[in-house]
Chain A
Amino acid sequence: MTIPAPGDPVTGNPAPVNPAAGNPSPIRVVIVDDHAIFRSGLKADLDPDIVVAGEAGTVEEAIAVIAARRPDVVLLDVHLPGGRGGGGREVLAGSAPLLATTRFLALSVSDAAEDVVSVIRAGARGYVTKTISGPEISGAVRRVAGGDAVFSPRLAGFVLDAFGTAPADIADDELDRLSARELEVMRLIARGYSYKEVAKELFISIKTVETHVSAVLRKLQLSSRHELTRWAAERRLL
């Protein structure tokens, strides 16, 4: 029993490394939610090409599991016990070095503006509510894994509310306002259009829609725009 011991790490080591490095097709996700029932339900709902690499129920567990497994996507509940009470935001802050390779998709039952926008600004690539259906969540995971952003109608509504519905002037800082096209895309998403429908409506490709949405996400994360801060302050953000 003592003799094979040195061999074990050798055979065991490549296993966790391989799927992350070599094989791109299955998407590895970590589900972070404090409700075990929800986690198992979500696992059952995900498509077969999405592999659940780990689960966590608290902030500390989540940071540890994400650092150990290095998943492609983390499905992150906004409200989490543990840590210093920061919930999902704290997990994002704790996993900051991994943000380049691991994408976070925020999940929540709450549709309060402060919850949604604070996780987005902390680095999440999208936000969906927990009432989302199985195929939709799988689609959202794939989209986030591909580097795109996922906007629910409600998030699009928040963005429009925060940035205002008037298109950008030339003089404005590029980060502080949405372009006319981005506004159109956001409006259609808020109206319940899927990316495909938005593309059809605006006579552009889905890829272009995704580019616009990613640009809006970047602005939402980085903008220090006066109205956004005021808007956030009114809702006790920041």
Chain B
Amino acid sequence: MTTPPVRPPLVRSSDRVIAGVCAGLANHLGWPVRMVRIGMLVAALAGGAGVAFYGWLWIMVPTADESARRSARRPASPIAPAVSAPDMPGTPEIPGTPGVPGSPESAGSAEAAGRARQGSWRSKVPGMPFGKEILLGAGLLLAAGILIARLLGVDVPLGTLIPVAAILGGAAIAWMQLDETRRAGLVDKTKADQAGGWARLAAGLALVVAGVLVMVSGSGSWEATWLALLASVAVLGGVALVLLPWGLKFWRDLETERAGRVRATERAEIAAHLHDSVLQTLALIQRRAGNEHDVIRLARAQERELRGWLYRDADKESGQLSEGIEAAAAEVEDTLGHAVEVVSVGDCVMTQRHEALVQAAREAMLNAARHGGGTVSVYLEVTDDAAEVFVKDRGPGFDPESVPPDRLGVRESIIGRMNRHGGTAAIISSPDGTEVRLRLPVTAAASAGTAAAAANNSNGEAKP
């Protein structure tokens, strides 16, 4: 699989002087940032082409955050298995089935992409740490230059310059605001952001209005300015009155469209998941239709995966004992193609000792699936003083006493393991089936005293 070198996507970098356009462009093209910036400056001097280009990129190119969010929402396309591969633990893991070709490579490429992204973050040197200060300084220098020029007798058209500067400043503030809202609006619309946005918009508006007024009224008397202001406010009010319903409708349409888009992305996510899991499994099943064992195994694995996806509890914390037992059951199902039903009541955080319980339970499930018939039932109950696991099958049963001492499965992996960790194990077998009962008290200290008694008890249970 030879992939052409992948360019990092064109996004506005967070390492920025104005809007991160140059840094993003440099990252995308693989050129040094300084070169791009100088080039942009030179182009800007050439009749403002650079400025236009910069502005265009500013508007059209998303920031790194936006882009990441967008691509995270976008469903994994069939040609990009790298994105979806980690989400489908069910299918490729099944031993004996032709794994999805290229999953190692794709994992590798995902990793590489991650590294590249990390690299771009690491190369993030604060380009101009005092950008604002420098800007302010430049402004002051300009003002000083103008003043000196006036003192020297050069006729500077202040009457035009100041309003123009005000208009430009106001517009800049408003446009930055657009950028900010785009970013903030996508993250979350917190009140603070909104308030800041409004303040900025108001400031920008005031500056522009003042500039225009001064310019129009020809920097004349206050009276003229005042009148003009009154007139323009009246006109603005009238326009607002007329446009308000239209604006509201537009806003509402925007909201509905946004909601629709959210629904569409959700739908696309579901489609992507179904494609990656269910459709793949169905394809595999069709190919192995002749092998009943494989078909059952695939169907079970897919069912489990889909169930986990549909009914997963978002609040449920990971690393729980029930999870360990379910994982063991899944493993047994996958290796032996035998249905294992897990029912759990109560739960607790998995500890080292619970690990032993899970291992013993896994061994019991393996035995049950190998020798028993029908569904293997696993029941986990966690109470305040102990964790218990019951593994039941419906096989012909066997005599626990007659198991030869060299058979490690039962004696060592189940009974021995439980005893070593302060728990007990009992095996009850009858012609209707076999049940393995495992019990692990909560504290090792409490179990030490009762271990002997419990062991006796378990023997007593096993014998009759």
State the A residues within 8 Å of B (CB). Answer: 110-112, 131, 153-154, 156-157, 160-161, 165, 187, 190-193, 197
Look across to chain B and name the residue whose beta carbon is closest to the beta carbon of A115.
B311
**Cβ contact within 8 Å between B377 and A192:** yes
Look across to chain A and name the residue whose beta carbon is closest to the beta carbon of B315.
A234
**Cβ contact within 8 Å between B311 and A110:** yes
Measured between beta carbons, the chain B residues less than 8 angstroms from A110 are 310-311
The 8 A CB mask of B389-402 against A (1 = contact, 0 = none) is 01010000000000
What number of A-B contacts does a CB cutoff of 8 Å give? 45
**Cβ contact within 8 Å between B383 and A191:** no
Binds A, one of B203-211, B232-240, B343-351: B343-351
A111→B346 CA distance, assembly (Å)? 17
State the B residues within 8 Å of A (CB). Answer: 307, 310-311, 339, 341, 343-346, 375, 377, 379, 381, 383, 390, 392, 432, 435
Q: How near does chain A come to B264, taking the closest CB pair, in angstroms?
A: 21
Q: How near does chain A come to B441, taking the closest CB pair, in angstroms?
A: 15
- Which secondary structure dominates where chain B touches chain A? strand
A197→B310 CA distance, assembly (Å)? 34
Query: 8 closest Cβ contacts across the A-B interface?
Result: A192-B377, A157-B343, A191-B379, A192-B392, A160-B345, A191-B390, A112-B311, A190-B379
The listed residue (A161, A191, A197) touching B432 by CB distance below 8 A is A197
Measured between beta carbons, the chain B residues less than 8 angstroms from A191 are 377, 379, 390, 392, 435
**Cβ contact within 8 Å between A111 and B307:** yes
A187→B388 CA distance, assembly (Å)? 11
Known: A110-B311, A157-B344. A192 touches B375 (CB 8 A): yes
Measured between beta carbons, the chain B residues less than 8 angstroms from A165 are 345-346, 381, 383
Known: A190-B343, A193-B392. A157 touches B307 (CB 8 A): no
The listed residue (A112, A153, A160, A161) touching B377 by CB distance below 8 A is A153
Given contacts A153-B341, A161-B346, A192-B392, 18 further A-B contacts (CB under 8 A): A110-B311, A111-B307, A111-B311, A153-B377, A153-B379, A154-B343, A156-B343, A157-B343, A157-B344, A161-B345, A165-B345, A165-B381, A190-B379, A191-B379, A191-B435, A192-B341, A192-B379, A193-B392
Measured between beta carbons, the chain B residues less than 8 angstroms from A156 are 343
Look across to chain A and name the residue whose beta carbon is closest to the beta carbon of B394.
A192
Look across to chain A and name the residue whose beta carbon is closest to the beta carbon of B311.
A112
18 contacts between A and B (CB under 8 A): A111-B307, A111-B311, A112-B310, A131-B339, A153-B379, A154-B343, A157-B343, A157-B379, A160-B345, A160-B381, A165-B383, A187-B379, A187-B381, A190-B345, A191-B379, A191-B390, A192-B379, A192-B390
A156→B377 CA distance, assembly (Å)? 13
Measured between beta carbons, the chain B residues less than 8 angstroms from A131 are 339
Q: How near does chain A come to B383, taking the closest CB pair, in angstroms?
A: 6
Measured between beta carbons, the chain A residues less than 8 angstroms from B346 are 161, 165
Measured between beta carbons, the chain B residues less than 8 angstroms from A111 are 307, 311
Measured between beta carbons, the chain B residues less than 8 angstroms from A187 are 379, 381
**Cβ contact within 8 Å between A153 and B343:** yes
A157→B344 CA distance, assembly (Å)? 6
* Most chain A Cβ neighbours within 10 Å, of B311, B339, B379, B383: B379
A191→B392 CA distance, assembly (Å)? 7
Q: How near does chain B come to A236, taking the closest CB pair, in angstroms?
A: 10
Measured between beta carbons, the chain A residues less than 8 angstroms from B345 are 157, 160-161, 165, 190
Measured between beta carbons, the chain B residues less than 8 angstroms from A193 are 392
* Most chain B Cβ neighbours within 10 Å, of A131, A165, A192: A192
A154→B375 CA distance, assembly (Å)? 13
A187→B437 CA distance, assembly (Å)? 13
A204→B377 CA distance, assembly (Å)? 23
A187→B390 CA distance, assembly (Å)? 10
Look across to chain B and name the residue whose beta carbon is closest to the beta carbon of A162.
B345
* Most chain B Cβ neighbours within 10 Å, of A111, A187, A191, A193: A191
A160→B347 CA distance, assembly (Å)? 12
Look across to chain B and name the residue whose beta carbon is closest to the beta carbon of A114.
B311
Q: How near does chain A come to B73, taking the closest CB pair, in angstroms?
A: 25
Measured between beta carbons, the chain A residues less than 8 angstroms from B375 are 192
Measured between beta carbons, the chain A residues less than 8 angstroms from B383 are 165
Q: How near does chain B come to A216, taking the closest CB pair, in angstroms?
A: 14
Q: How near does chain B come to A187, taking the closest CB pair, in angstroms?
A: 7
A2→B343 CA distance, assembly (Å)? 64
Measured between beta carbons, the chain A residues less than 8 angstroms from B377 are 153, 191-192
A110→B346 CA distance, assembly (Å)? 20
Measured between beta carbons, the chain B residues less than 8 angstroms from A190 are 343, 345, 379, 381
Look across to chain B and name the residue whose beta carbon is closest to the beta carbon of A196.
B432
A153→B343 CA distance, assembly (Å)? 7
